[in-house]
Chains A and B, each alone.
Chain A
Amino acid sequence: MTVTFQLNGEDCRFHGDPMTPLVDILRQERFLTGTKAVCREGFCGACTVHVDDEAVPSCLKPIALVQGCAVTTIEGLSSGNHPLHPLQAAFEAADAVQCGMCFPGMVMSLSAFVRDNPHASRPEIKAAMVGNICRCTGYERIVDTVADCLDQARKAGQLVGGVHV
């Protein structure tokens, strides 16, 4: 079947098996390899993308369910030479990254989270990361960075709407 959707702001058409996982189309047909297929079962979060602004695992999303939706991948979050999303910039500055393979998914999950939860506490940040596994960093620096980012946004007066691009 044919499925049409928006991919990083552009029209995208897929023809093929409607049950193909979204992640495979992103990686194999669109060469958007920032989305990582790590466990393919919804546990690791490395394939997280935004579908209609919600952070969801793309490994378990049959492409047919994306018909008419807007999909944003890590490549679409801060494209080209545009500035990094504040969270990405904060992770870079804090030396939070190690092997880096979990980070695209981590950024996609947490960017939606900080947008929706500008007053989140440290435990709430951790609870939001339960579906994003990191094997390298031991998490705490990521949590600290998100908490700092929210703090700064609040201080800068962006109280409503959390952290945006």
Chain B
Amino acid sequence: MASSVERSFTAASTLDEAMAARRQGAAVLAGGTWMMRDPRRGIDLPEAVVALHRIPALSKVEIEPDHVVIGAAVTHAVLGRALYGAAGFEGVVAAAEGAANPGIRRVATVGGNLCALDFAAADLVPALLVCEATVELETVEGPKLLGISDFLKDRHTLLTDGIVTRIHLRRDLVASAHIRLPLRKAGDYPVAIVSLAMDKDKRCRIAVGSVEPVARRWTALEQAMRAGPASALDPERAAELALEHNDFQGRDGKEAEGWYRRQVLPPLVKRGVAALLKTGGLA
């Protein structure tokens, strides 16, 4: 069982300690649910590992009147419980409470979800996209704050030496929703995800996960929906616009072909808008 090369493991208790290990090449271990499957993917586990779970600041959710700060080591289960009932965060809660399965949700973390580069079906990513979350990283040049879209665009580079530490959310949403479509009722990774949020100006934000390799905002649809009056927010109309502005290239996978992921987006938008209206008290 003992490795022939002694693997280095650092359970960092401060961020500085974690960064020091990182500089020496240690990979960041969060809950382990993604990394521990590397051998099955034919990838050796890293020779040096740094774990963040002992850094207190990274394991808490701070809820302030105008914003929320989520530590990167917070698990899905803790996040779902912490934000349960907080107006505007219904989508994040649904993502945290719907991902994978209950056992995984008690272990897998927010940071892990954002940093697993090959995990196209991560639930929290589109949910945080519509919150317009800010991602805080610790880098060799010090802390860095980035909008989540920019983070996702550059995360390959950013994560070569940085560590995601916190996620910052403004409390400026009226309602949000997270519609995930697994092939069973639950328990598998969704083949398509539509996350939606409505801000105080009743403007809709929409993000799509799992359809393309990396989740992204559905800008074309958001703009089309803004062209109409906010009071006209209607599930059927939204689905029609989604069909018209479907600019996604579905990725082919063992579980579903690209066309299917793309095809189901309009009905998911319809469900999402209906959920949004219901939560926002507008239905």
Query: In the complex, is A directly touching B at CB under 8 Å?
Result: yes
Contact B7 A57 (CB under 8 A): no
User: 1/0 contact trace for A7-21 toward B, CB 8 Å?
Assistant: 000000001111111
A-facing residues in B137-193 (Cβ within 8 Å):
186-187
Is A109 in contact with chain B by the CB < 8 A criterion?
yes
Q: Which of B32, B103, B104, B187 contacts A65 (CB under 8 A)?
A: B32
Chain B hits for A65, CB < 8 A: 29, 32, 51, 53
- Say if the beta carbon of A54 comes within 8 Å of chain B: yes
Number of A residues whose C-beta is below 8 Å from B? Answer: 35
Q: State the Cβ distance, B14 to closest chain A Cβ, in Å.
A: 17
**B92–chain A nearest beta-carbon distance, Å:** 19
Segment of B33-41, B58-66, B225-233, B258-266 engaged in the interface with chain A: B33-41
Which of A19, A45, A67, A131 is within 8 Å of B7, CB to CB? A19
Contact residue range for chain B? Answer: 20 to 34
Q: Which of B9, B45, B107 has a CB less than 8 Å from the CB of A57?
A: B107
- Which residues of the other chain, A, contact B186 by a CB distance below 8 angstroms? 127, 130
Q: How far is the CB of B24 from the nearest CB of chain A, in Å?
A: 16
- List of A residues within 8 angstroms of B3 by Cβ: 16-17
How far apart sit A57 and B107, CA to CA, in the bound complex (Å)?
A: 9
Interface: B101 (CB within 8 A): yes
Residues facing B in A71-126 (CB within 8 A) are 109, 113
Residues of B within 8 A of A147 (CB): none
Chain B 236-260, CB-CB to A under 8 Å as 1, else 0, gives 0000000000000000000000000
B11 contacts chain A at the CB level, 8 A cutoff: yes
Q: With the chains together, A75 CA to B6 CA distance in Å?
A: 31
Judge whether A149 is part of the interface by a CB distance below 8 angstroms: no
Which residues of chain B come closer than 8 Å to A109, judged between CB atoms? 102-103
> Given the known A-B contacts A130-B187, A131-B101, are A56 and B9 also in contact in the complex, defined by CB atoms under 8 Å?
no
Q: Given A42-B100, A56-B106, answer yes or no on A16-B2 (Cβ-Cβ < 8 Å).
A: yes
A130 and B101 contact, CB distance less than 8 A: yes
Interchain CB contact under 8 A, B101 and A43 = yes
Q: Which 5 A-B pairs have the closest CB atoms?
A: A131-B101, A18-B9, A16-B2, A130-B187, A17-B3
Q: What would be 12 A-B contacts, judged by CB atoms less than 8 Å apart?
A: A1-B6, A1-B9, A18-B49, A42-B37, A45-B101, A48-B103, A57-B103, A60-B104, A60-B107, A62-B49, A64-B11, A130-B101
20 further A-B pairs in the complex, CB-CB below 8 A; given A28-B1, A42-B100, A55-B102: A17-B1, A19-B7, A20-B1, A40-B40, A41-B37, A56-B107, A57-B103, A60-B31, A60-B36, A60-B104, A61-B36, A61-B107, A62-B29, A64-B49, A65-B53, A67-B11, A109-B102, A128-B102, A131-B101, A131-B187
